Chain A
């Protein structure tokens, strides 16, 4: 049977030519564009994409920024516009310190510079960090705490140095830094801090764990929260540490509240195994029936760990076994007392 000849009309021919033209144009576009490939641009693409995502809670636009809503204290004026940084851009502001915040539950940062009306060249910069929760904020506050700082009554916890003020309130951590050391700037930092805190009426309760440490010999200013990888053990997170001085000897106690007693017990066992892995030598501890306290000597230092209800606790890197065990006993008794009340 002879093959029937296929015919097409003018419309089909024109349509086909148009489609072929489109395909050829796309092909030519790809051909020429490939010579313009720029890897640095590709590297920057994720950031640009990220910038288009939903604005962080703190700000978003300049008008919505905390600092723009702030009724400026008398005598203080804005020196610069607000800047906002999210997790992908935080290092653009604080470089290598970004990991400290990111590891602790960073949400976003807003910064702005201020100066005194009619003042000299001196200025102030406020860094307002929004963290995941009050514990995260406390972690970054406590880990950077300056020694010899003077506590103040601002926020839930705060301290000042000769040119700066550091405040934690709810999930917020704030640093107010002056470019010079003088009383006028110090006063302005305090006023600014007060005004900012007033802008956050609902903050929730401050972190309660610092109250888990027995007061005898405790340095209240030394309490810190290690958000992750505490003592080099990756499973150990949310660990509060506190400095003690007993008979003139410095000691470090720690407490971590877990979700339930089972988790606390399992973590104590895991930490024990972790220490043994590094050739820690087990020490004998006299305990009451039902008690389980693990003590070790490792590279000349004493480590003690135990679990009690939902708490994992102990003493870290003590140089004296007797004082370490005395502190552990105090800590244990105190936790029992707190649990009862």
Chain B
């Protein structure tokens, strides 16, 4: 009988059992190998070692627990008075320092809507930093809207550059995977951390605003702008994410602008009728205290804003700002 290429195999029982056993062992080995490679937890990191707490502590020794509230409608003047009352800018900025100003440039909206950091504060703080001998001032944020448009229409970009600061716009390469120790949400999450490389001092500058989700947007919520990726998913756990951000970064100073407070329809506002003239500027080395103090401008208490309570419990600062070295001008 002729077979084309293959011959028909005829096996006896012994051969059949032997071959069946070999096939079974091969299949079992393949399965065992696959199981060995199986990782029930899935991939854990972007790189071999996730970056843990990329931000050093930017606070200055000996300046802890300082807060100053100035009742003054002129932002430039108010900032000067507050910084002076807190020991002068030289207490925080040393000669040769590289300073980063984290502004709130979230929206491409004009300064009169008070949805973003006021350019006058950016200009004045930059000037004060250079006066104290800063080598470089970097102004940055990762806005919600198109960054270039945001820095342009808010007036922040021009104010910063005119004052001699350098505006750093977000790019993909400037985000690094970050894990905040003890955090449940900021785990291996892209954070806008590269601008902080080589930075000696960090100052947050934020307006006081109503916020539809968190109740308020002030100094602590300002760090939300450092998150990359699809950060809007954190809106479901807004108080927890703000608390974790408070653990992530310890700034040199925060400046909370309540000259005009957005009391309704935040965080975007849109109408001048959403604003209330409150003529208050708060400067503090403790962002939790600054927010606790600023809450009153929104007619709210610390208990109305759970993220403040959580941030205090996480050790990020003290909500009882009057127990600090509190100055009121």
A326 an interface residue at 8 Å Cβ cutoff? no
Complex Cα distance, B287 from A198, in Å, reads: 49
- Name the contact of A91 in the complex, choosing from B112, B153, B235 (C-beta under 8 A): B235
Which chain A positions have C-beta within 8 A of B177?
A: 38-40
B213 at the interface (CB under 8 A from A): yes
Q: Select the stretch in B28-36, B198-206, B261-269 that faces chain A.
A: B261-269
Does the CB pair A80–B149 fall under 8 Å?
yes
- Out of A39, A97, A127, which one reaches B46, CB within 8 Å? A39
Shortest Cβ gap from A12 to chain B (Å)? 7
Residue A116 at the chain B interface, CB threshold 8 Å: no
Complexed CA–CA distance, A1 and B228 (Å): 72
A133 within 8 A of B: no
B 265-291 contacts with A by CB, 8 A: 265-268, 270-274
B229 at interface (Cβ–Cβ under 8 A)? yes
Instruction: Count residues on chain B whose CB falls below 8 Å from chain A CBs.
Output: 50
- CA–CA, A162 to B272, complex, Å? 7
Q: How far is the CA of A166 from the CA of B271 in the complex (A)?
A: 10
Out of A39, A97, A161, A181, name the residue touching B112 (CB < 8 Å).
Answer: A181
For B46, give the chain A residue with the smallest CB separation.
A38
- B172 closest partner in A (C-beta): A40
Q: Are A164 and B112 in contact (CB under 8 A)?
A: no
Q: How distant is the Cα of A99 from the Cα of B46 in the complex, in angstroms?
A: 31
| Interchain CB contact under 8 A, A95 and B144 | yes
Contact assessment for A144 and B265 in the assembled complex, using a CB-CB cutoff below 8 Å: yes
Chain B residue numbers with a CB within 8 Å of A164 are 270-272
B7 to A, closest residue via Cβ: A4
A5-B7, A146-B274 known; A95 and B106 CB under 8 Å?
A: yes
Select B268's contact among A9, A97, A99, beta carbons within 8 Å: A97
Segment among A63-71, A172-180, A234-242, A291-299 that sits at the interface with chain B:
A172-180
Residues from chain B with a CB closer than 8 A to the CB of A38 are: 46, 177
Q: A336 near B: Cβ within 8 Å? A: no
What's the nearest-Cβ distance from chain B to residue A147, in Å? 7
Cα–Cα distance between A123 and B271 once the two chains are bound (Å):
14
Within 8 Å of chain B (Cβ to Cβ): is A277? no
Interface presence of A232 (CB below 8 A): no
- A-contacting residues, B176-221, CB 8 Å: 177, 188-190, 211-214, 217
Q: Determine if B107 is an interface residue (Cβ-Cβ < 8 Å).
A: yes
Q: Which residues of B contact A46 (CB under 8 A)?
A: 230
**A123 contacts across to B, CB distance below 8 A:** 110, 153
A53 CB within 8 Å of chain B: no
B6-26 interface with A by 8 A CB criterion: 6-12, 15
| Residues of A1-29 whose CB lies within 8 A of B | 1, 3-9, 12
Give min CB distance, B215 to chain A, whole Å: 10
Kindly provide the distance from the CB of A87 to the nearest chain B CB, expressed in whole angstroms: 11
A-B contacts besides A3-B9, A40-B177, A98-B232, 5 pairs, CB < 8 Å: A46-B230, A91-B232, A94-B268, A149-B271, A162-B273
The 3 closest A-B pairs by CB, nearest first: A179-B110, A91-B232, A40-B190
Can you pick out 24 interface pairs between chain A and chain B where the beta carbons lie within 8 Å of each other?
A1-B12, A4-B9, A7-B6, A38-B177, A39-B189, A40-B46, A40-B177, A40-B189, A40-B228, A43-B230, A91-B232, A93-B145, A94-B144, A95-B106, A96-B212, A96-B267, A97-B265, A163-B272, A164-B270, A164-B271, A177-B270, A179-B110, A179-B112, A179-B113
